[in-house]
Amino acid sequence: MSETHRTGRWFGLAGAALIAVGVGLVGQVPSLVLLGGLGVTLSAYDRVAVPPAANVSIQRSITPTDPALGERVTVALTVRNDGSRTIPDLRLADGVPDSVRVVEGSASLGTALRPGASTTITYEITGGTDRCVFDPATVVVRDVVGVVARRTRVTAEPDTVTWEQPASSALLPLVPAVARRPGTVPVDEGGEGVSFYAVREHRSNDPLSRVDWNQYARTGDLRTVEFRREQSATVVVVVDARSAAALAPRPDAETAIERSTMAAVALVEGLPEDGHEVGVAAYSPHGAWLAPGTSAAHQQQARDLLRTDRAFAATSVTRTPDTTKLIAQLPTAANVVFLGPLCDDDSEALVRRLAASGHPVTVLSPDPTATDTAGHRLARLERRERLRRLRAAGIAVHDWPATEPLEQVTERAWRGGQ
């Protein structure tokens, strides 16, 4: 289906012609009347012009066809004039999916095409986290002057690109909470476990395997080794996906929301392996919530939510999210892993509220700041100060520079650095 419309480019030409004729009559100047004739001729063209037929075919090529997560994809779009008339003005905009960004080249083109001729544009996209479907390309053709246009949508094949998820999993050292089931979160309490905690006097019902036989051989005293007890936790991964978090150090770099979501997917993959129950929540005006769980189906549900729900995509809505509702949804004393750039006071306030509500909070903060301008440097300093204040409040905060992969940050976190 194509629709034709007048662009109004020569709107007013007939009026100017009338003025010329009027002035020519009053001033007895034949040349002005003739000029009016020229205006009328051109106005007549404006009225009778028809746009060329938008008889074009478009072919899209996508390389690589199965990109890994974060990999750039090159899209080449070839448009061909299948009609028998020259198209003097063809403008094309590819239907790039909302969830990806064009980082190199342009997804638009303006050209003129003879019958049978074709031209190609190439551009690169990135930022997709799953299956992305291209919309049909929009094609607008005009006559040579541009007084009339025909708009149509042309489907190009292939129209799908799927970023393969390597299903990278990540683990973060979680902050100890009250004792619940045995698991991997160390608590400051001796008992069953794997890492040494203390040695105490032997009691008659202690298992023989925990008797410190070396000590017995040296001194003849029976003593029992205690290990650090570890427990599994209920974890809720909260992703800051507000417009205030859609920040990146460079226009073509990943935004903090994309990095946070990627880290959330990795945590959702990794944490259940250690027996933790993982839930997902969005700190976004759209809101999203998935209660903690450990099953494979639940894990898949969490992944789908993170990859496809609009609450985890950049939004233009600036409404403040309902933090009270967000906190009320969290299970009692659930571990919270907060993922956000912490570039504004609202996110800092939320982290403090979460901690104040009795939730052990771990913050993993993708750093979106840059140093190219004084303003950017100031924003960087403010963010560092915010991180420092949170650490001072006893919250585990892990800074994630834009140049570091997630694994490096988690490794550092396990080693105890921040």
116 binds other proteins (CB under 8 A): no
Task: Decide: is 83 part of the binding site for other proteins (CB under 8 A).
Answer: no
Q: Which is nearer to other proteins, 18 or 291 (CB)?
A: 18
Residue 41, both tokens:
């001729």
Q: Select from 40, 103, 171, 211 the one that contacts other proteins (CB under 8 A).
A: 40
| Distant-in-sequence contacts of 30-36, Cβ < 8 A, 24+ apart | none
Shorter beta-carbon distance to other proteins: residue 33 or 288: 33
Q: For other proteins, which is the closer residue by CB, 19 or 333?
A: 19
CB nearer to other proteins: give 87 or 170: 87
> Which of 106, 155, 214, 219 contacts other proteins by CB under 8 A?
106
> Is residue 311 involved in binding other proteins (CB under 8 A)?
no
- Binding part of the chain for other proteins, among 16-24, 199-207, 236-244, 273-281 by CB under 8 A, reads 16-24
Among 2, 3, 5, 39, the residue binding other proteins under the rule CB under 8 A is: 39
Tell me: does residue 122 bind other proteins (CB under 8 A). no
Rounded CA separation 152/141 (Å): 9
Residue 396, phi-psi category: left (phi > 0), alpha (psi -120 to 50), beta (remainder) = beta
Residues constituting the chain: 418
Q: Which residues of 114-124 are buried (b: 16+ CB within 10 A; e: fewer)?
A: eeeebeebebb
Among 2, 61, 78, 111, binds other proteins (CB under 8 A): 111
Residue 20 interacting with other proteins (CB under 8 A): yes
Per CB under 8 A, 34 contacts other proteins: yes
**Nearer residue to other proteins within complex by CB, 36 or 51:** 36
Residue owning tokens 């507000």:
242
The CA distance from 131 to 94, in Å, is 17
Cα 141 to Cα 5, 74, 138, 411: the distances in Å are: 11, 26, 10, 56
Tokens of 211: 């008797």
Between strands 335-339 and 101-104, the pairing is unpaired
Q: How far is the CB of 21 from other proteins (least distance, A)?
A: 5
Residue in the structure block whose two tokens are 């040494």: 196
For the CB of residue 58, give the shortest distance to other proteins in the complex, in Å: 15
Regarding 17 and contact with other proteins (CB under 8 A), the answer is yes
Q: Report if residue 9 touches other proteins, rule: CB under 8 A.
A: yes
Token pair of 232, please? 């599994």
- Nearer of residues 29 and 356 to other proteins, judged by Cβ: 29
Considering only 4, 5, 12, 158, the residue that binds other proteins (CB under 8 A) is: 12
For residue 145, with 0-12 CB atoms within 10 Å meaning exposed, 13-18 middle and 19 or more buried, which class applies? middle
Per DSSP, 157 falls in state: B
- DSSP helix/strand/coil, 95: strand
Toward other proteins, which CB reaches closer, 94 or 277?
Answer: 94
Encoded tokens for 234: 């209920």
Identify the residue among 57, 68, 110, 116 touching other proteins (CB under 8 A).
Answer: 110
For residue 140, which amino acid is it?
Answer: V
**Is the CA virtual torsion 398, 402, 407, 411 positive or negative?**
negative
The answer to the question of residue 121 lying near other proteins (CB under 8 A) is: yes
Would you count residue 349 as binding other proteins (CB under 8 A)?
A: no
d(CA 81, CA 22): 46
Cβ proximity to other proteins: between 44 and 68 the closer is: 44
145 binds other proteins (CB under 8 A): yes
Q: Per CB under 8 A, does 151 bind other proteins? A: no
Helix ranges (DSSP H) in 276-371: 296-308, 323-329, 345-356
H-only helix segments in 63-183? none
End-to-end CA gap in the chain: 58
Q: Is 238 in the site for other proteins (CB under 8 A)?
A: no
Region of 54-62, 108-116, 187-195, 373-381 interacting with other proteins (CB under 8 A): 108-116
- Contact flag: residue 146 with other proteins (CB under 8 A): yes
21 or 396: whose CB is closer to other proteins? 21
Binding site for other proteins (CB under 8 A): 6-7, 9-10, 12-14, 16-21, 23-25, 27-45, 47-48, 88-91, 106-112, 119, 121, 140, 144-146
